[in-house]
Structure 1
Amino acid sequence: MASKGADLGGEARLIDAMVPRGARILDAGCGTGRVGGRLAAAGHRVTGVDLDPELIAAAEQDYPGTDWQVGDLTELELPDRFDVIVCAGNVMTFVAPDTRGEILRRMRAHLSGNGRVAIGFGADRGYPFDEFRADAAAAGLAEDLLLATWDLRPFGPGSDFLVALLRPA
Protein backbone atom coordinates (compact mmCIF):
# COMPACT_ATOMS: atom_id res chain seq x y z
CA MET A 1 0.00 0.00 0.00
CA ALA A 2 2.82 2.40 0.83
CA SER A 3 4.44 1.81 -2.56
CA LYS A 4 1.14 2.87 -4.17
CA GLY A 5 1.15 6.12 -2.21
CA ALA A 6 -1.32 5.14 0.51
CA ASP A 7 -1.12 7.22 3.67
CA LEU A 8 -0.27 4.69 6.38
CA GLY A 9 0.11 7.27 9.14
CA GLY A 10 -3.23 9.07 8.98
CA GLU A 11 -4.82 7.20 11.86
CA ALA A 12 -1.91 7.94 14.18
CA ARG A 13 -1.80 11.63 13.17
CA LEU A 14 -5.49 12.06 13.98
CA ILE A 15 -5.16 10.37 17.37
CA ASP A 16 -1.99 12.32 18.18
CA ALA A 17 -3.83 15.58 17.46
CA MET A 18 -6.63 14.64 19.89
CA VAL A 19 -4.49 14.34 23.02
CA PRO A 20 -1.57 15.96 24.82
CA ARG A 21 1.87 14.36 24.70
CA GLY A 22 2.17 11.40 27.04
CA ALA A 23 -1.49 10.38 26.78
CA ARG A 24 -2.57 6.81 27.60
CA ILE A 25 -3.70 5.17 24.35
CA LEU A 26 -5.13 1.72 23.71
CA ASP A 27 -4.67 0.35 20.20
CA ALA A 28 -7.54 -2.16 20.08
CA GLY A 29 -6.91 -4.81 17.46
CA CYS A 30 -3.38 -3.47 16.99
CA GLY A 31 -2.17 -6.12 14.54
CA THR A 32 1.50 -5.53 13.79
CA GLY A 33 1.52 -2.24 15.71
CA ARG A 34 1.48 0.17 12.78
CA VAL A 35 -0.74 2.74 14.53
CA GLY A 36 0.30 2.20 18.14
CA GLY A 37 3.98 2.13 17.22
CA ARG A 38 3.75 5.56 15.61
CA LEU A 39 1.90 6.91 18.63
CA ALA A 40 4.51 5.48 21.02
CA ALA A 41 7.25 7.09 18.90
CA ALA A 42 5.38 10.40 19.26
CA GLY A 43 5.68 10.14 23.04
CA HIS A 44 2.42 8.50 24.10
CA ARG A 45 2.02 5.60 26.54
CA VAL A 46 0.54 2.91 24.30
CA THR A 47 -0.92 -0.49 25.03
CA GLY A 48 -1.74 -2.63 22.01
CA VAL A 49 -4.02 -5.65 22.17
CA ASP A 50 -4.61 -8.21 19.43
CA LEU A 51 -5.93 -11.76 19.36
CA ASP A 52 -3.16 -13.04 17.06
CA PRO A 53 0.13 -13.87 18.84
CA GLU A 54 2.04 -13.76 15.54
CA LEU A 55 0.93 -10.19 14.93
CA ILE A 56 1.87 -9.24 18.50
CA ALA A 57 5.31 -10.81 17.94
CA ALA A 58 5.73 -8.66 14.83
CA ALA A 59 4.69 -5.55 16.77
CA GLU A 60 7.21 -6.37 19.51
CA GLN A 61 9.94 -6.76 16.91
CA ASP A 62 9.09 -3.62 14.94
CA TYR A 63 8.21 -1.38 17.90
CA PRO A 64 10.09 -2.60 20.98
CA GLY A 65 9.41 -0.99 24.33
CA THR A 66 5.67 -0.67 23.79
CA ASP A 67 3.18 -2.73 25.81
CA TRP A 68 1.90 -5.28 23.26
CA GLN A 69 -0.51 -7.91 24.61
CA VAL A 70 -2.27 -10.94 23.19
CA GLY A 71 -5.90 -10.64 24.15
CA ASP A 72 -9.50 -10.91 23.04
CA LEU A 73 -11.35 -7.59 22.83
CA THR A 74 -14.54 -9.32 23.97
CA GLU A 75 -12.78 -10.12 27.26
CA LEU A 76 -10.80 -6.90 27.58
CA GLU A 77 -9.94 -6.30 31.23
CA LEU A 78 -6.94 -4.02 31.70
CA PRO A 79 -5.99 -2.14 34.87
CA ASP A 80 -5.52 1.14 32.99
CA ARG A 81 -8.04 3.66 31.75
CA PHE A 82 -7.23 5.39 28.49
CA ASP A 83 -7.43 8.90 27.09
CA VAL A 84 -8.06 7.45 23.63
CA ILE A 85 -8.90 4.01 22.31
CA VAL A 86 -8.16 3.65 18.61
CA CYS A 87 -9.61 0.80 16.60
CA ALA A 88 -8.41 1.15 13.02
CA GLY A 89 -7.91 -1.28 10.15
CA ASN A 90 -11.53 -2.43 9.86
CA VAL A 91 -11.18 -4.41 13.11
CA MET A 92 -14.88 -4.09 13.96
CA THR A 93 -15.81 -5.78 10.68
CA PHE A 94 -13.51 -8.75 11.35
CA VAL A 95 -14.95 -9.66 14.75
CA ALA A 96 -17.96 -11.95 15.09
CA PRO A 97 -21.14 -9.89 14.68
CA ASP A 98 -22.55 -11.12 18.00
CA THR A 99 -19.48 -9.77 19.86
CA ARG A 100 -19.54 -6.21 18.55
CA GLY A 101 -21.75 -4.80 21.29
CA GLU A 102 -19.64 -6.39 24.02
CA ILE A 103 -16.44 -5.04 22.47
CA LEU A 104 -17.92 -1.53 22.41
CA ARG A 105 -19.06 -1.88 26.05
CA ARG A 106 -15.58 -2.99 27.09
CA MET A 107 -14.02 -0.07 25.22
CA ARG A 108 -16.40 2.29 27.03
CA ALA A 109 -15.41 0.75 30.37
CA HIS A 110 -11.72 1.38 29.65
CA LEU A 111 -12.06 5.12 28.96
CA SER A 112 -10.87 7.77 31.36
CA GLY A 113 -13.48 10.36 32.31
CA ASN A 114 -12.86 12.55 29.26
CA GLY A 115 -11.64 9.73 27.02
CA ARG A 116 -12.58 9.18 23.41
CA VAL A 117 -12.88 6.17 21.14
CA ALA A 118 -11.91 6.42 17.46
CA ILE A 119 -13.16 3.56 15.27
CA GLY A 120 -12.74 3.34 11.51
CA PHE A 121 -14.02 0.84 8.97
CA GLY A 122 -15.29 0.59 5.43
CA ALA A 123 -18.78 0.10 4.07
CA ASP A 124 -19.83 -3.19 2.47
CA ARG A 125 -17.94 -5.21 5.09
CA GLY A 126 -20.97 -6.68 6.83
CA TYR A 127 -21.44 -3.99 9.48
CA PRO A 128 -23.79 -1.25 8.25
CA PHE A 129 -22.89 2.16 9.60
CA ASP A 130 -26.37 2.68 11.11
CA GLU A 131 -26.09 -0.65 12.96
CA PHE A 132 -22.67 0.35 14.32
CA ARG A 133 -24.01 3.71 15.46
CA ALA A 134 -26.90 2.02 17.28
CA ASP A 135 -24.51 -0.49 18.89
CA ALA A 136 -22.23 2.34 20.04
CA ALA A 137 -25.15 4.21 21.59
CA ALA A 138 -26.34 1.04 23.36
CA ALA A 139 -22.79 0.62 24.74
CA GLY A 140 -22.92 4.08 26.33
CA LEU A 141 -20.96 5.93 23.65
CA ALA A 142 -22.14 9.21 22.14
CA GLU A 143 -21.03 10.60 18.80
CA ASP A 144 -18.68 13.57 18.87
CA LEU A 145 -17.77 13.60 15.20
CA LEU A 146 -18.26 11.38 12.15
CA LEU A 147 -15.69 11.53 9.37
CA ALA A 148 -15.36 9.77 6.02
CA THR A 149 -11.58 9.36 6.33
CA TRP A 150 -8.81 9.53 8.88
CA ASP A 151 -7.69 12.79 7.18
CA LEU A 152 -10.83 14.64 8.34
CA ARG A 153 -13.05 14.60 5.26
CA PRO A 154 -16.69 14.98 6.31
CA PHE A 155 -18.95 11.94 6.58
CA GLY A 156 -22.10 12.01 4.46
CA PRO A 157 -24.75 9.79 2.89
CA GLY A 158 -22.44 8.57 0.12
CA SER A 159 -19.40 7.90 2.29
CA ASP A 160 -17.84 4.46 1.86
CA PHE A 161 -15.76 4.71 5.06
CA LEU A 162 -16.58 5.83 8.58
CA VAL A 163 -14.33 7.19 11.29
CA ALA A 164 -16.43 7.65 14.40
CA LEU A 165 -15.09 9.73 17.28
CA LEU A 166 -17.09 8.75 20.33
CA ARG A 167 -17.22 9.84 23.99
CA PRO A 168 -18.92 8.47 27.07
CA ALA A 169 -22.64 9.23 26.92
Structure 2
Amino acid sequence: MNRWEELTGGTSGEDYAARFASLAGTGKDMHGEARLCAALVPAGSRVLDAGCGTGRVMIRLAELGYDCVGVDLDASMLAVARKQAPELRWIQADLATFDPAEQRVVADFDLVVAAGNIFPLLAAGSESAVLSRLAAVLRPGGLLVAGFGLDEAHLPVPPSINLPEYDAHCAAVGLTLVDRFATWDAHPYEGGGYAVSVHRAHHD
Protein backbone atom coordinates (compact mmCIF):
# COMPACT_ATOMS: atom_id res chain seq x y z
CA MET A 1 0.00 0.00 0.00
CA ASN A 2 1.37 3.44 -0.86
CA ARG A 3 1.18 6.44 1.46
CA TRP A 4 -1.62 7.99 -0.60
CA GLU A 5 -3.83 4.95 0.00
CA GLU A 6 -3.01 5.00 3.71
CA LEU A 7 -3.96 8.66 3.79
CA THR A 8 -7.23 8.42 1.87
CA GLY A 9 -8.34 4.80 1.85
CA GLY A 10 -8.71 5.15 -1.93
CA THR A 11 -12.05 6.93 -1.69
CA SER A 12 -11.07 10.57 -2.03
CA GLY A 13 -11.55 11.33 -5.73
CA GLU A 14 -14.74 13.35 -5.43
CA ASP A 15 -13.48 15.26 -2.35
CA TYR A 16 -10.21 16.06 -4.08
CA ALA A 17 -11.96 17.33 -7.21
CA ALA A 18 -14.33 19.42 -5.09
CA ARG A 19 -11.42 21.06 -3.27
CA PHE A 20 -9.83 22.14 -6.53
CA ALA A 21 -13.17 23.30 -7.92
CA SER A 22 -13.67 25.52 -4.88
CA LEU A 23 -10.12 26.92 -5.23
CA ALA A 24 -10.75 27.64 -8.90
CA GLY A 25 -13.96 29.40 -7.87
CA THR A 26 -11.90 31.84 -5.78
CA GLY A 27 -10.12 32.97 -8.94
CA LYS A 28 -6.90 31.23 -7.91
CA ASP A 29 -4.93 30.11 -10.96
CA MET A 30 -5.18 26.32 -11.08
CA HIS A 31 -3.10 25.76 -14.19
CA GLY A 32 0.49 26.50 -13.21
CA GLU A 33 1.53 22.90 -13.82
CA ALA A 34 0.08 22.78 -17.33
CA ARG A 35 1.57 26.17 -18.13
CA LEU A 36 5.06 25.05 -17.11
CA CYS A 37 4.70 21.85 -19.15
CA ALA A 38 3.59 23.93 -22.13
CA ALA A 39 6.68 26.11 -21.74
CA LEU A 40 8.91 23.02 -21.83
CA VAL A 41 7.54 21.18 -24.88
CA PRO A 42 5.53 22.44 -27.86
CA ALA A 43 1.83 21.74 -28.42
CA GLY A 44 1.30 18.38 -30.08
CA SER A 45 3.94 16.73 -27.88
CA ARG A 46 3.11 13.43 -26.17
CA VAL A 47 2.69 13.80 -22.42
CA LEU A 48 2.34 11.12 -19.75
CA ASP A 49 0.67 12.38 -16.58
CA ALA A 50 2.12 10.08 -13.90
CA GLY A 51 -0.19 10.03 -10.92
CA CYS A 52 -2.81 11.99 -12.86
CA GLY A 53 -5.41 11.86 -10.07
CA THR A 54 -8.67 13.49 -11.14
CA GLY A 55 -7.04 14.71 -14.35
CA ARG A 56 -6.91 18.43 -13.62
CA VAL A 57 -3.45 18.95 -15.18
CA MET A 58 -3.88 16.52 -18.06
CA ILE A 59 -7.29 17.81 -19.12
CA ARG A 60 -5.82 21.32 -19.31
CA LEU A 61 -2.86 20.06 -21.37
CA ALA A 62 -5.24 18.25 -23.74
CA GLU A 63 -7.16 21.54 -24.16
CA LEU A 64 -3.84 23.18 -25.07
CA GLY A 65 -3.27 20.63 -27.84
CA TYR A 66 -1.11 17.99 -26.16
CA ASP A 67 -1.45 14.25 -26.80
CA CYS A 68 -1.92 12.95 -23.24
CA VAL A 69 -2.12 9.67 -21.36
CA GLY A 70 -2.87 9.56 -17.62
CA VAL A 71 -1.84 6.83 -15.17
CA ASP A 72 -2.98 6.53 -11.56
CA LEU A 73 -3.52 3.74 -9.06
CA ASP A 74 -6.51 5.34 -7.31
CA ALA A 75 -9.74 4.16 -8.95
CA SER A 76 -11.82 6.85 -7.20
CA MET A 77 -9.64 9.60 -8.70
CA LEU A 78 -9.71 8.03 -12.17
CA ALA A 79 -13.50 7.74 -12.00
CA VAL A 80 -13.66 11.53 -11.68
CA ALA A 81 -11.14 12.00 -14.51
CA ARG A 82 -13.06 9.67 -16.84
CA LYS A 83 -16.33 11.43 -16.08
CA GLN A 84 -14.77 14.84 -16.85
CA ALA A 85 -12.93 13.77 -20.01
CA PRO A 86 -14.13 10.37 -21.28
CA GLU A 87 -12.38 10.95 -24.61
CA LEU A 88 -8.90 10.93 -23.03
CA ARG A 89 -6.82 7.84 -22.19
CA TRP A 90 -6.84 7.03 -18.46
CA ILE A 91 -5.00 3.94 -17.20
CA GLN A 92 -5.27 2.41 -13.74
CA ALA A 93 -1.80 1.11 -12.86
CA ASP A 94 0.87 1.24 -10.20
CA LEU A 95 3.70 3.48 -11.43
CA ALA A 96 6.23 1.04 -9.96
CA THR A 97 5.06 -1.73 -12.30
CA PHE A 98 3.55 0.31 -15.16
CA ASP A 99 4.15 -1.51 -18.44
CA PRO A 100 3.32 0.62 -21.50
CA ALA A 101 3.36 -2.39 -23.84
CA GLU A 102 0.79 -4.19 -21.69
CA GLN A 103 -1.43 -1.10 -21.93
CA ARG A 104 -0.75 -0.72 -25.67
CA VAL A 105 0.92 2.64 -25.09
CA VAL A 106 3.85 3.66 -27.29
CA ALA A 107 6.72 4.49 -24.95
CA ASP A 108 8.16 7.59 -26.60
CA PHE A 109 6.81 10.47 -24.55
CA ASP A 110 8.26 13.96 -24.93
CA LEU A 111 7.35 14.81 -21.35
CA VAL A 112 6.37 12.98 -18.19
CA VAL A 113 4.75 15.19 -15.55
CA ALA A 114 4.42 14.14 -11.91
CA ALA A 115 2.53 16.87 -10.11
CA GLY A 116 0.80 16.62 -6.74
CA ASN A 117 3.47 15.16 -4.44
CA ILE A 118 3.72 11.86 -6.32
CA PHE A 119 7.16 10.93 -5.00
CA PRO A 120 6.57 11.57 -1.27
CA LEU A 121 3.32 9.56 -1.53
CA LEU A 122 4.85 6.46 -3.11
CA ALA A 123 5.24 3.24 -1.16
CA ALA A 124 8.50 3.45 0.79
CA GLY A 125 11.40 2.09 -1.24
CA SER A 126 9.61 2.15 -4.60
CA GLU A 127 11.07 5.48 -5.77
CA SER A 128 13.82 3.97 -7.90
CA ALA A 129 11.41 1.47 -9.51
CA VAL A 130 9.02 4.28 -10.40
CA LEU A 131 11.77 6.49 -11.83
CA SER A 132 13.09 3.55 -13.83
CA ARG A 133 9.60 3.05 -15.36
CA LEU A 134 9.18 6.77 -16.09
CA ALA A 135 12.63 7.10 -17.64
CA ALA A 136 11.86 4.09 -19.84
CA VAL A 137 8.82 5.75 -21.44
CA LEU A 138 10.70 8.94 -22.39
CA ARG A 139 12.17 9.39 -25.82
CA PRO A 140 15.87 10.39 -25.86
CA GLY A 141 16.00 14.04 -24.81
CA GLY A 142 12.53 13.81 -23.27
CA LEU A 143 11.80 15.56 -19.99
CA LEU A 144 10.54 14.48 -16.57
CA VAL A 145 9.07 17.33 -14.52
CA ALA A 146 8.14 16.56 -10.93
CA GLY A 147 6.96 18.90 -8.18
CA PHE A 148 6.77 17.80 -4.56
CA GLY A 149 6.99 18.98 -1.00
CA LEU A 150 10.16 18.51 1.03
CA ASP A 151 8.98 19.36 4.53
CA GLU A 152 6.00 18.93 6.85
CA ALA A 153 4.48 22.26 5.82
CA HIS A 154 4.21 21.21 2.17
CA LEU A 155 3.11 17.59 2.61
CA PRO A 156 0.15 15.64 4.01
CA VAL A 157 2.60 12.92 5.16
CA PRO A 158 6.03 13.05 6.82
CA PRO A 159 8.76 13.93 4.28
CA SER A 160 10.30 10.81 2.77
CA ILE A 161 12.56 11.94 -0.08
CA ASN A 162 14.94 14.88 -0.35
CA LEU A 163 16.38 16.47 -3.48
CA PRO A 164 19.83 14.81 -3.34
CA GLU A 165 18.11 11.41 -3.02
CA TYR A 166 15.72 12.21 -5.85
CA ASP A 167 18.55 13.43 -8.10
CA ALA A 168 20.55 10.28 -7.32
CA HIS A 169 17.58 8.05 -8.24
CA CYS A 170 17.19 10.05 -11.47
CA ALA A 171 20.91 9.81 -12.33
CA ALA A 172 20.80 6.05 -11.81
CA VAL A 173 18.21 5.71 -14.59
CA GLY A 174 19.89 8.11 -17.02
CA LEU A 175 18.11 11.36 -16.16
CA THR A 176 20.09 14.60 -15.76
CA LEU A 177 18.90 17.65 -13.84
CA VAL A 178 18.40 20.62 -16.18
CA ASP A 179 16.29 22.99 -14.07
CA ARG A 180 14.81 23.39 -10.61
CA PHE A 181 12.09 25.83 -9.60
CA ALA A 182 10.46 26.80 -6.31
CA THR A 183 6.98 26.82 -7.87
CA TRP A 184 5.15 25.73 -11.00
CA ASP A 185 5.36 29.39 -12.02
CA ALA A 186 9.10 28.81 -12.52
CA HIS A 187 10.42 30.98 -9.71
CA PRO A 188 14.07 30.00 -9.15
CA TYR A 189 14.66 27.44 -6.41
CA GLU A 190 16.78 28.82 -3.58
CA GLY A 191 16.06 26.23 -0.92
CA GLY A 192 12.67 25.89 0.73
CA GLY A 193 10.04 23.27 1.27
CA TYR A 194 8.79 22.73 -2.28
CA ALA A 195 10.65 22.12 -5.53
CA VAL A 196 9.78 21.47 -9.16
CA SER A 197 12.60 19.53 -10.82
CA VAL A 198 13.16 19.09 -14.55
CA HIS A 199 15.33 16.15 -15.65
CA ARG A 200 16.25 15.21 -19.22
CA ALA A 201 16.61 11.67 -20.58
CA HIS A 202 20.03 11.01 -22.11
CA HIS A 203 20.20 10.94 -25.87
CA ASP A 204 21.01 7.51 -27.27
**1:13 counterpart residue number:** 35
Q: Is the 8 A contact 2:111 2:138 kept in 1?
A: yes
- 1:115-160 deviation per Cα after TM superposition (whole angstroms, max 9, x unaligned): 1000000111221222111111122210010111110111113x21
Partner of 1:120: 147
Q: TM-score, normalised by structure 2?
A: 0.78
Q: Which runs of 5+ in 2 are unaligned?
A: 1-22, 152-158
Equivalent residues in 2 for 1:1-169 (5 A)?
Answer: 1-3=23-25, 6-78=28-100, 79-80=105-106, 81-124=108-151, 125-157=159-191, 159-169=192-202
- Matches of 1:16 and 1:64 in 2, distance apart? 22
User: How far apart in 2 are the matches of 1:92 and 1:37?
Assistant: 21
Q: TM-score, normalised by structure 1?
A: 0.94
One-letter amino acid of the structure 1 residue matched with residue 150 of structure 2:
A
Over aligned residues, Cα RMSD in angstroms?
A: 1.3
Count of residue correspondences: 168
What is the identity, as a one-letter code, of the residue corresponding to 1:41? E
- Give the AA of the match of 2:200: R
Return the alpha-carbon distance in structure 1 between the equivalents of residues 24 and 66 of structure 2.
24
Q: CA-to-partner distance for each residue in 1:42-84, whole Å, 9 max, x for gaps?
A: 1111000000112111101112211011011001111322000
Provide the C-alpha distance between the structure 1 equivalents of 2:35 and 2:189, rounded to a whole number of angstroms: 18
Structure showing greater radius of gyration is 2
Identity of aligned residues (%): 40
> Which structure carries more strand by proportion?
1
The runs of at least 4 aligned residues of structure 1 exceeding 2 Å deviation read 1-7
